[in-house]
Amino acid sequence: DAGVIQSPRHEVTEMGQEVTLRCKPISGHNSLFWYRQTMMRGLELLIYFNNNVPIDDSGMPEDRFSAKMPNASFSTLKIQPSEPRDSAVYFCASSFYPDTQYFGPGTRLTVL
Amino acid sequence: AQKITQTQPGMFVQEKEAVTLDCTYDTSDQSYGLFWYKQPSSGEMIFLIYQGSYDEQNATEGRYSLNFQKARKSANLVISASQLGDSAMYFCAMRWGGSNYKLTFGKGTLLTVNP
């Protein structure tokens, strides 16, 4: 069975550019999570969807970040405009609520 | 506030020996879940093992076992017969009853298995 799929795996962009990260959750899972991992702050939950509906976005750092889940098999995390401090690894995870979360391989974002 | 503490920034173990990675947690909830994830140098987060707060038996998954001591609020991961491929970062995480979906992660322990 396919796990959580994320694309791109690596993204290098310049400050001010728009960045879109993509995630395909495990088929049948009804919950999707976006996390950010940095050395300084560890793993942080950014936003959580249940049945495609955003439930809690309190972890989204600021208005430059937005996330959507138009259907059960696809989600995006967008940063516009990007800044160097957004450089991090972004993980998408999915679960069949409230069971174990399974993580994707992550997207390593570098903003120059 | 819910909190996970991993006091060992780094651990070393000889191949084929057992190792215990410590995790303590703080919650006032009666219903919660404890997880361990492995993050190798390649970066992915791999789920290892889960323990529910009402589970009476310690969880086991192959070479992994969770030493759950509820009164002491600890959930240590035991890896038996360590292998070189076990070298990785290990994260303890908690999901608590008041907010089932959120995972709070510890800062992690970097395990190095020596040949």
**Chain A residues touching residue B61 (CB < 8 angstroms):** none
Residue of A44, A100, A108, A110 to mutate, testing the B interface (most B Cβ within 10 Å of its Cβ): A100
Chain B CB within 8 Å of residue A112 CB: no
Is the pLDDT higher at A3 or at B100? A3
Residues in A touching B103 (Cβ below 8 Å): 45, 101
List, as ranges, residues 23-42 from A with C-beta within 8 Å of B: 31, 33, 42
Cross-chain Cβ contact A42/B100 below 8 Å: no
In sequence order, what are the residues at sequence separation of 6 or more whose Cβ sits closer than 8 angstroms to the Cβ of residue B109? B6, B8, B9, B10, B11, B21, B22, B89, B90
A41 with A22: CB under 8 angstroms?
Answer: no
Q: Which pLDDT score, from 0 to 100, does residue A37 have?
A: 96
Span A41-71, pLDDT tens digits: 999 999 999 999 998 898 998 899 999 999 9
Please report, as a single letter, which amino acid is at residue A20: T
pLDDT score for B100: 55
- With beta carbons less than 8 A apart as the criterion, state whether B12 and B21 touch: no
Dist. CA B97–CA B46, nearest whole Å: 23
**A5 touches B at CB < 8 Å:** no
Task: Tell me the mean pLDDT per 10 residues along chain B, length 115.
Answer: 91 97 92 95 95 93 96 96 97 78 90 97
CA angle B69/B96/A100 to nearest 5° reads 90
Would you state the pLDDT for residue B60?
96
Q: What is the reported pLDDT for B102?
A: 79
Count the neighbouring beta carbons within 10 Å of the beta carbon of residue A12. 12
CA–CA dist B86, B83 (Å, integer): 5
CA-based nearest residue to A109, from A35, A24, A11, A17: A11
pLDDT at B97: 60
pLDDT of residue B98: 59
Nearest to B89 by CA among B44, B58, B26, B59: B44
What mean pLDDT comes out for the span A14-43?
95
The pLDDT score that the predictor gives to residue B73 is 95
Neighbouring residues of B42: CB distance < 8 A, sequence distance ≥ 6: none
The mean-pLDDT minimum among A8-12, A38-42, A103-107 falls in A38-42
Are A11 and A19 in contact by the 8 Å Cβ rule? The answer is yes
Which of residues A96 and B11 earns the better pLDDT score? Answer: B11
Helix (H, G, I), strand (E, B) or coil at A67: strand
Q: Which residues of chain A have a CB within 8 Å of the CB of B100?
A: 97-98
